[in-house]
Amino acid sequence: MDSTDRRLLTALQQDGRISNQALADQIGLSPSPCLRRVRALEERGLITGYAALLDRTKAGLPITAFLRIKLANHAPATVSGFEKAILRLDEVLECHLTSGAEDYLLQVVVDSQAGYERFMRERLHPVPGIAAIETSFAFGTVKRTTALPLD
C-alpha cells in the first residue's frame, strides 16, 4: 500500500459516498486510475464494505453498555458455543477476545434500562458457558470514529 492508496482510503473513510470524480480530484488522479485503485483495494480486502453511520439515539437505541464476560472454562466447545451465540445477538455491536481477568468485551446497544434487562434475561443469560458478567454503562461519548489512522 503506497501513499496514494493511503490518501484514497483516508478520503473514503471520511465520505464513503464521494463520487469517483470528486475522489480523483481530491487525491490528484484522473478518474480511471482512481477507480482502478479503489477496485484493487476492494479486491485485496482493505475495503471490506460501505455503510451508513446512524445516530444511535435517533435510531431508538440510546443506551450503550460495555460487558466484560468471563467464561466458566476455556474448553473448545465452550468457547465455540459462546462465540456462535454472540454472533446471533443483534444488540451486540462488537465482541472482542481480551487478555486479563475477563475473556471477552462486548459493546451492546438497547432502547432502555428495561430493554437491557430483557437482553440480559432473555438473550445473554441463556448462552451456555458464561461464569460472570460485569456491565458498565456509557453516560456519554467523547470520541467515536470508524476511521483508521493511516497517515
| pTM of the shown model | 0.90
Tell me if 3-43 shares its fold with 63-137. no
SS3 content of the chain, % helix, strand, coil (to 5): 40, 20, 40
User: Is residue 66 within 8 Å of 106, Cβ to Cβ?
Assistant: yes
Domain ranges of the chain: 3-43, 63-137
CATH fold, domain 3-43, is Arc Repressor Mutant, subunit A (1.10.10)
Query: Could you read off the pLDDT of 40-78 as tens digits, one per residue?
Result: 999 999 999 999 999 999 999 999 999 999 999 999 999
Q: What does the pLDDT read at residue 151?
A: 79
Q: Which CATH number fits domain 63-137: 1.10.287.610, 3.40.50.1450, 1.20.1630.10, 3.30.70.920?
A: 3.30.70.920
Q: Per residue in 4-30, pLDDT tens?
A: 999 999 999 999 999 999 999 999 999
C-alpha separations of 106 from 39, 59, 75, 81, 95 in Å: 33, 20, 20, 16, 4
